[in-house]
Amino acid sequence: MKIVSSMAWSSARRAALLAAVTLVAACSSPTPPVRQVDSTPGVPSAGDAAGRFLRGKIVGPTVRQYGLAHIELSGVQFVTPRVGFLSECQPKPNSRACPSRLLSTRDGGSTWRDVGSQAPPPQWDFVSADVGFGLRVGCRGLCPSVLKTRNGGRTWHLRRTLRVRPHPADFGRSGSSISFVDPSNGWIADEGVVLRTADGGRKWSRLPFTCPRGVSDGMGMALADLRHAFVVCEGEPATDLTFKELFATADGGTTWTLRSRVENGQPGIGQIPLVGSDSQLSFVSPRLGFLMADRNGIERTTDGGRTFRPLLFTDDVTDVVGTSWITHDRGYVALYHGGLLRTDDGGSHWTVVYPHPVPHPVQTLAFATPTKGIGTGSDAFLSGPRALFVTDSSGRAWEPVRPPAGATLGQPVYASPRVVLALGSFPLKRGSREGLLRSDDGGLHWERLAVPTEEPVSISFPSPGVGFLADRSGRLFRTEDGGTGWSQVGTETGITSLQFASGRVGWAMQWPASASNGELIRTADGGRTWGSVPLPRLFRLDTIGFLDARHGWLEGFRCSGTPPSGLPQEKTSGCGHPRPTLLRTADGGASWDEIDLPFPFDNYGLDFVTPRIGFTLEDFLYRTSDGGVTWRAVVPPGL
């Protein structure tokens, strides 16, 4: 029960595996028998007596139904260092509905509460803890309405219905900007038009500004004070590149100056970024401001919009939907699918403050016992692959631990309940170096060990002293002293995942250069020689997990039948209709039970600690107590 999934499988190899049209048999040996017995009550059995066909079941939420990834933020604003507002919606399972609500904080973002039952307007701006203004579409979707709240967003009342002439068809419907500097003075911008009020929204006048032709497809606006304001106009995006022009006024909107301009392939003015679309602005002062754009992130200016420097790059991971700055150093950023972030050093470092992060692994995992496990990676936007967690409660709660300094861990491997090892990547001035990490206290502290190759692929430790390592060139090494010294014991090209049950008996997933499918191979002499293990016909191997010399599980696809609904396109390409399948053996691979899964477990690990209890990752941690037929989600409290 050590390593279960290769850390070295490249995305290209995985894509090639799924895209192959013709399945190449794992070896020329006869296909092992698989008896097809539908486990559904009332369905008759049929087939060979050496194996079974079981209808698998997955119980619990997936990321498609539940989880942090489906909390959608839409805006943030702080009016004092302690008082702030945040808007979000939470899609309902199996529904397109996403009810919106407004949250408020009175302690700087440590806690948030729902302000009331009335949904907030799509665009809003507060000037105090009680008074705010909003913009909502009215007139059967044609006319925007200005709303006002006097009780911190609990209720909103109509202030004015805007009638813009000439009337842009989409004014106020999406992408609008509303900004107030006090209870009387505010601006609204959309579709190249800028409106201003000086009486709290009762009357509005149009300012002498229009986005130039060619850059009127998008618009963002921000007020720095009563006299200083900024507007960004942009053209239609081409992939992630968008023509932009940024204008500024220092006299309340009477006159405007072009501060920066960028167009693909053309000389520009200033240094506004070309990358990013649907731009929005936020200015703290006439000189300090921020540009937010989809497919880019946040850029910062300290010279009033003439030049910008990257502050937070989000790319396609998520979109920045709002930012609010209390001082030059303290700021908040709302990410569409990433939560609310806070910085106290001007953007050099960020912390997730809402939803409160619930630590749990999402990349790799390994278990030593039914309760004790370790995992890597976090789905928090900024945590990345260096996050490391341990559990003593079967995954119901995870405790973050300090990873080795600078190291990015691969697949962890338990050699005993206290000894865990992992390959790691260590950054250098240029590139990185691979090494081996060992912990003798369950993952709390780590020691770095040298490896006998520059390209290690996979490790397996059947005991704290005996271990094996395969590299990309096909060499297999063995250690007798827990990883301090290594000697080569054999050569077997194409190994991507090792699994040794003892110092002699081991399994591996192999990808021969001439094959279009991964193969299962076995050794009985400590890796000196290997032989192919026949698998059921039309099965594509994806992940391996062996408990001992007899009990093992293989996750992959069976290229027949009708694909389940919702299977990603990359999973259905090639081989007809692949169905997610788990193979199970209790006789060392002589015969296999075939378990039909509702959806695939991504290649993040498959680990069994007894013949009946096992774990895997697919958005959440899943646990089985019947040998892999039924899987139940283990969701930490708070997710």
What are the sequence ranges of the domains in the chain? Answer: 11-63+359-634, 213-316
Q: Any idea which of 112-116, 457-461, 548-552, 562-566 has the lowest mean pLDDT?
A: 562-566
Whether residue 175 is predicted with pLDDT greater than 80 in this model: the reply is no
For residue 92, give the DSSP letter: P
CATH superfamily of 11-63+359-634: TolB, C-terminal domain (2.120.10.30)
Window from 75-84, 182-191, 400-409, 415-424 with minimum mean pLDDT: 400-409
CA pair distance 61, 58, nearest whole angstrom: 9
pLDDT in tens, 329-342: 999 999 887 789 89
Q: How confident is the model at residue 221 (pLDDT cuts 50, 70, 90)?
A: very high
pLDDT tens for 66-76 read 334 457 888 99
Which residue, among 594, 468, 495, has the nearest Cα to 540 in the 3D structure? 594
pLDDT in tens, 443-459: 999 999 999 999 999 99
Whether the per-residue pLDDT at 244 is higher than 80: the answer is: yes
Amino acid at 396: R
From start to end of 302-427, where are the E strands?
A: 309-313, 320-325, 331-335, 339-343, 351-354, 364-367, 373-376, 388-391, 399-401, 408-414, 420-427
Cα angle, residue 380 at apex, residues 544 and 372 outer, rounded to 5°: 45
**Of all residues in the chain, what percent carry a pLDDT higher than 70?**
78
Per-residue pLDDT band at 171 (split at 50, 70, 90):
low
Higher-confidence residue of 68 and 468: namely 468
Q: Look at strands 100-105 and 84-89 and give their pairing.
A: antiparallel
Instruction: Give the pLDDT mean for 21-36.
Output: 40
Distance CA 500, CA 511 (A): 18
Average pLDDT, the chain: 81
Task: Tell me: pLDDT of 65 over 60.
Answer: no
- Say yes or no to pLDDT of 12 above 70: no
Spatial distance between the Cα atoms of 402 and 546, rounded to a whole number of angstroms:
29
Largest CA distance in the chain: 87
Least confident of 91-100, 351-360, 498-507, 585-594: 91-100
**Separation CA 157–CA 120 (nearest Å):** 11
Confidence grade of residue 141 (pLDDT, cut at 50, 70, 90): low
* Residue 323 scores a pLDDT above 60: yes
